[in-house]
Amino acid sequence: MLPRVDLRGNPAASLGRRRLDGVLPRARLDVEAALEAVLPVCEDVRLRGAPAVRDQTKRFDGVDLATTRVAPQALTDALAGLGPKLRSALEEAARRARLPPDSVTTVAVGATVTERYVPVGRAGVYVPGGLVAYPSSVVMNVIPAQVAGVTEIAVASPPRPEHGGLPHPAVLAACALLGVTEVHAAGGAQAIAMLGYGTSDCAGVDIVTGPGNVYVAAAKRLLLGRVGTDGEAGPTEVAIIADHSADPALVAADLVAQAEHDPLAACLLITTDAGLADRADAELAGQVAAARHRDRVEAALAGQSACVLVDDADAALAISDAWAPEHLEIQAERAEELAGRVRNAGAVFVGPYAPVSLGDYLAGSNHVLPTGGTARHSAGLSVLTFLRGIHVVTCGAAALAEVAPLIDELGGAEDLAAHVNAVRARVRGAS
C-alpha cells in the first residue's frame, strides 16, 4: 500500500538530511509562486545553489570566492591573532549574554541584566475553513495568547455560503466559549492582509498565527516584518518509528488519520521490520477502503508517503531527524529512551497509547507545529509565541568603570569612538 524505500545497509551516520533530500517524500508548497514577487537573487540561489551565491557575492561585494565556506584554519588564525584585551572583552561579553529566560542575572557587583517577557498587545488568529472546520485550532491559538496575557485577540475564518456567509458554527462556538468577541468572516490572503494592515472593520494586529493554505502562507511571508507570525504552515505530516513490537492495526489507523487531513498530507512509516511493513499494508487495505474520506486518504498515501526500511533504531532516528516531521510517533521497544534522543520534530508521541490525534485535541500540547522540515529550526506555537523578551540593564558607577577598558577595546575594534566616549564621559564624571 505504501511505496517502499529500502535504506537497509546504510549506517545511521550516513543518513543525513543532504543525502536524503529527494529520497524521502514530502509535499512541497511553492510560496514563491504564490507571492509572484520573489527577489531574483533568492530565486537564483534556489535554482543554482552555491554558484549563484558566489556570482551574487562577486556582483554585490566585489569578492570572487571559490567557496562561501570559511576554512577552519582561517578561523584558528583569526582567533590566534586577536589582541588579548579584545579577546578578554569578547569573552566577557559572551558570558554576560548567556541569560536563562525570564531571569535576573547579576553579571558583576553593581550590575544586573533582567530578561522579562511582555505579551504583544493585539493578536490575530487565523482559523482555516477548507476541507473541514477546525474549532480545535481556535483553542490551540487563542489559549496560549490568553495565557500570555494578550488583551486583544481577533479571529478570522472563511465565510461559508451554507452558513449564511458566516464562519463554520463550530468555529464561532469555540470563540464564544473562550470569550473571544472579535471574529471576522474573512479567509485566505485577504484575511491575513486585513489583520496585518488593519481596516475600518479590523484594527491591525502585532502578530498573526494559525495555519492555512499556500496563499495564507504567502501572505504571512509578505507581511513578515510589519507583523510577527508563527511561521508558514504547509501540508500536515507524520512519521512513525515502529518495530516488531508495534501493533500494525494501530500503525495503519494513525497513517489513515493523518492522511484524511489533505490529499497533500505526508505519511512516513520508518521500520526495522519488513514483516511489520507487510502487516501494516494489509491493515491499510481494509482501513482505507472503510475511510469516510477515502479519496483524500488514497491520494495522500500514494502521493507523498512511503515505508522506509532501516536496519536499526539508530538509523530510524537518523531518518526521522533528517525528515524533521511535524508529528513523530514512536511505537517501538524503549520508546521513551528513543524519544529522548529525537532532535528534529514538532511534537513527539511516545508509545502505543499516544497517537497524534491525542495531541490534536486533548494532550495539552499544541497542534500548530512546524511542517515541511522546518522543525529543524522552529518550534510549535506556545505561550512564548505571544511574548517578547525585553532586557533591562542596571549598572552602578563602579561596575561601569570596571568594564570601561573592555569597552575601549571593543569600540576601538569597531571604529565606534562615540560609543567609547559615552562610557568614558561617565567614568570621568564619577571619578
Helices of type H across 248-305: 248-259, 274-290, 294-303
Q: What is the CATH topology of the domain spanning 4-24+235-356?
A: Rossmann fold (3.40.50)
Give yes or no for residue 75 having a pLDDT over 60: no
The yes-or-no verdict on residue 36 having pLDDT over 60 is: no
> Strand, helix or coil at 357?
helix
For the question of whether the overall pTM of this predicted structure is more than 0.85, the answer is no
Q: Which residues are catalytic?
A: 326-327
CA distance 300 to 287: 14
- What integer pLDDT is reported at residue 53 of this predicted model? 43
Average pLDDT, integer, range 394-413: 94
pLDDT of residue 106: 64
User: pLDDT by residue (tens digit) across 105-121?
Assistant: 666 778 888 888 899 99
Position 277 scores a pLDDT of 96
pLDDT higher than threshold 70 for residue 47: no
- What ranges make up the beta strands (E) of 48-173? 104-108, 111-119, 122-126, 152-157
Chain length of the chain? 431
132-156 per-position pLDDT tens digit: 677 788 888 888 898 889 999 999 8
Determine the topology of domain 120-233+382-387 in CATH. Answer: Rossmann fold (3.40.50)
Q: Identify the residue with better confidence: 96 or 114.
A: 114
- Give CATH 3.40.50.1980 domain extents, the chain: 4-24+235-356, 120-233+382-387
Among 23-37, 60-74, 391-405, which stretch is predicted with the lowest mean pLDDT?
Answer: 60-74
Which residues does 151 contact at the CB level (< 8 Å), separation at least 6? Answer: 119, 121, 122
Task: Give the up-direction half-sphere exposure of residue 388: CA atoms within 13 A in the CB hemisphere.
Answer: 14
Helical pair 397-413 and 84-97, crossing angle rounded to 10 deg: 120
All three cell numbers of 205, joined, read 494586529
